[in-house]
Amino acid sequence: MKAIRVEQIGGPEVLHLEDVAPIEEPGPGQAVVRVVAAGVNFMDVGQRRGTYPRGVPFTPGAEGAGVVESVGEGATNVKPSDRVAFTGLPGAYAEAIVADATRLIPLPDDFTFEQGAAFPLQGMTAHYLIHEYRKPKAGDFVLIHAAAGGMGGLLVQWARHLGATVIGTTSTEEKARTAREAGAEHVIVYTDEDFVAETKRITKGHGADLIIDGVGKSTFKGDLEAVAIRGHIVIFGAASGPAEGVSPNALMPRAVTVSGGSLQNFIRTREELMWRANDVIEGIRQGWLKLNIGAVLPLAQASEAHRLLEGRKTQGKLVLSVAASKQAAGLR
């Protein structure tokens, strides 16, 4: 079968479409999934660059959607021909994966495979970021960095759905329009304006009650100034690099709370996984939560997808079309 392989740590050019050994028969509790679409995430970039170390060689990707081809003994929650989505399962940039069947999410018939590859990681990440720290409510100011991205757009919509006033940051005016379309009432183009000063102006000196930051190094210092008294900052990513440290005692004068989050700690059981996934699916069905799929590229162009993501040239979610990979690569 075909898969993207990383033989050495490096830039996007190290991603190569190769022939690899076919998937073995599923073991007890496992299922083989034919991948139709795979989601592209900053975690994939971090693994390729060595920021999040993985032993080489490896196939990147941890999110996707497809069809169950076979199941092993004891795998009772899925059967062959079931449409499924997944996240947290390594090797998604490939034509098939072997998966723990309990980690597969039933994909509704009214969802496309591209939607199935776009919602699990970012949708459930948005769910825990919104619900687990300081759940936004009417009257709250919520500051969301990178508000035009796939992740940022979902956070903007969810916070707005709960009644909060949303402030988004973006790098360009074009992206600012995308953030406004998602529901951000105020957008700060941080390349032109100081987001700290603008946040204080917008909130009339109050600051942001909740700041959700997946950028890290270039924003965290400003977060500490922009946050309200008794406000909450949540770090869940490092798109610009790891944030610099801060003394815990520096948080005391304004009673600021700083938390860190990663999705795998909030979907540790199947019950929690399905609670979050079903909430995301229901939000999409009701129409108040909309997926923004910015581009769908063939699997053979995974390196281009990484270049776009790293260069912050994306709006919305990037998805790789795996089913079309052979044709796109000119392979037979």
Q: With H, G, I as helix, E, B as strand and everything else as coil, classify residue 49.
A: helix
Query: Does position 331 have pLDDT exceeding 50, yes or no?
Result: no
Query: Does position 327 have pLDDT exceeding 80, yes or no?
Result: no
pTM over 0.75: yes
Asked if 17 and 4 touch (Cβ cutoff 8 Å), the reply is yes
Beta-carbon contacts of residue 272 (< 8 Å; ≥ 6 apart): 266
Asked if 273 and 103 touch (Cβ cutoff 8 Å), the reply is yes
Query: Does position 62 have pLDDT exceeding 50, yes or no?
Result: yes
Q: What is the pLDDT of residues 127-168, one digit of tens each?
A: 999 999 999 999 999 999 999 988 999 999 999 999 999 999
Question: What is the Cα gyration radius of the chain?
Answer: 20
Beta-carbon contacts of residue 269 (< 8 Å; ≥ 6 apart): none
Percentage of residues in the chain having pLDDT higher than 90: 90
Q: What is the pLDDT of residues 312-323, one digit of tens each?
A: 777 789 999 998
Question: What 8-state DSSP symbol labels residue 148?
Answer: T
- pLDDT at res. 132: 97
As a whole number, mean pLDDT of residues 276-283 equals 98
Write phi, then psi, for 46 (nearest 5 degrees): -60, -40
Q: How many CB atoms lie within 10 A of CB 24?
A: 9
Q: What is the pLDDT of residues 82-108, one digit of tens each?
A: 999 999 999 999 999 999 999 999 999
Sign of CA dihedral 13, 305, 277, 153: positive
Asked if 92 and 39 touch (Cβ cutoff 8 Å), the reply is yes
Beta-carbon contacts of residue 330 (< 8 Å; ≥ 6 apart): none
- pLDDT at res. 91: 97
Chain centre distance of CA 229: 29
As a whole number, mean pLDDT of residues 26-43 equals 96
The full DSSP string for 252-306 is TTTT-EEEE--GGGG--SHHHHHHHHHHHHHHHHHTSS---EEEEEEGGGHHHHH
Query: Does position 328 have pLDDT exceeding 60, yes or no?
Result: no
Q: What is the pLDDT of residues 105-128, one digit of tens each?
A: 999 999 999 999 999 999 999 999
Average pLDDT of the chain is 94
